[in-house]
Each structure stands twice: as C-alpha cells, then as structure tokens.
Amino acid sequence: MSGLVVEALEARYGLLTAVRGVSFAAGTGDVVALVGANGAGKTTLLRTIAGAHPASAGRVKLDGRDITPVPVHRRVGMGIAMVPEGRRLFAEMTVEENLMLGRRARRDGDWTIERVLELFPNLQPRRKALAGTLSGGEQQACAIGRALVANPDVLLLDEVSLGLSPLAVDRVYASLEALLRSGTTVVLVEQDLDRALGVANRVLCMLEGRIVLDAPAGEVTRAQVTEAYFGLKAPAAGGVAA
C-alpha cells in the first residue's frame, strides 16, 4: 500500500526492548494518534521510523519500499520528517535560518518558507529573531515549519503540546488544521487524549512497548483508550480494549 507500513518492528537500548513487535499501517492522508503513558515506547517508535534509532527486528516501508536500512538523512530526502520532543531548534540561529535547514532535503512540493509563515502567522514578525528568544508556542511552530519545508509525505510529531500553555496549544492546533487536511500522512504523539481523538482518524495506544489498541478514532471511546493506556483490561480481538 502507499504510505507508511511498520511490520513487527523492534527497537532496543542495550538489553532493554523499548518497542516490541509493533505493526501498523498509515495510508496517504491518515492522521494517526499515538498515545500511551511515559515510557510506553512512543518516542522510540517514532525515532525508529525516522531512522534516528536502529531497528533490531522488523521493517519500515514507505510506499512499498523497505527503508529499514536507510540512514536518517536519506529518509528525510525520501519523504519522512520528524518534529522531535523538545523542538531542538538551533537557538543561536534565526527563525528563517532554522526553517531553511528543512530545504536541504531538496524535495519538490508546495511547502515553502513563505507558506509556513502563512500557516503560522505568529512567526512572521519573529522571522529574523533568534530561535532561543521565542516563546514555547513559537518554538513549536518553528520546529513544525522546519519539518514541513522538507515537503514530507509522512510527518512524525512528537508531543506537540508538551510544556506549552493552554493558549499556545490552542494556537498550534488551530494552525495545524490546514496541515491535517493537506494529504500528508501524520503520526502524532499526544498526551492530551481529547486533542488526539479530536484530530485523528486512527488511534494507537502503546503499553510497555506494544500496541494494545488500534482502532478508528470514531469507533473507540475515551474510556476504551484510557483502559488501554493504563492496562486496565486486556485488548479484545482486533486490538480494541474491551
């Protein structure tokens, strides 16, 4: 299938297995919410998909091609971009200079620096400001914009709302609405279940490195997600917590 396919993926830190046999598929335009408690393996899963962490078993496929052995910098050029937890901007570079880094992928597409500034208008007056002087919400917008300028087919967003004020979260999500309708495949790690269920068409819940719930967002209740999140009940057939 076109899009992202993860097959029996495992990732380790020494003797610790952080991702255990994870499989899922995200087609073109899907928005997949990846939820779970701290330490469930969400960030390691995203990093392994992006190529920033090695897979110890399993495969990652993009549009039918096995990219498991492909290094991280080449995956960006193939269409996978990640916004890491904590943003990781270059604090001594300007907003515009940080955004320009995304252009190194040299992928064709509609996302330009000007379009990113239209998507996040709060960045326009801060264009020449150092990234280290931005507010948390502005930094998150800049980090997302840097990934978008690479014109990814698959965008991995890790903890979009982490550390932001409620007002900043509202602004970031309001700006993301256009992106989520653009046809880009998005895998979103989000601790706020209401936010996650509100924007996604699929929801995956991880527990101790495994997917314990995989369901259309419109067919699963918040209570079911919460039960899977805390491991309160075993998943029923099909992956949805009973």
- The neighbour count for residue 172, using CB atoms within 10 Å, is 21
Class of the 4-230 domain?
alpha beta
Segment 59-91, tens digit of pLDDT? 999 999 999 999 998 999 999 999 988 768 989
Q: At 167, is the secondary structure helix, strand, or coil?
A: helix
Distance between CA 32 and CA 22 in Å, rounded?
14
Distance between CA 118 and CA 57 in Å, rounded?
41
Strands across the sheet with 80-83, in order? 80-83, 154-158, 185-189, 31-35, 202-207, 210-216
Enumerate the domain spans of the chain: 4-230
Mean pLDDT per 10-residue section of the chain, whose length is 242 residues: 90 96 95 94 97 97 96 92 84 93 81 91 94 90 91 92 81 79 89 88 96 94 90 53 33
Please report the sign of the dihedral spanned by the C-alpha atoms of residue 187, residue 193, residue 195, residue 197: positive
Write down the pLDDT at residue 167. Answer: 83
Distance between CA 149 and CA 142 in Å, rounded?
10
152: CB partners within 8 A, 6+ apart: 76, 79, 80, 81, 107, 184
Q: What is the CA radius of gyration of the chain?
A: 17
Segment 146-171, tens digit of pLDDT? 999 999 999 999 988 877 788 888 88
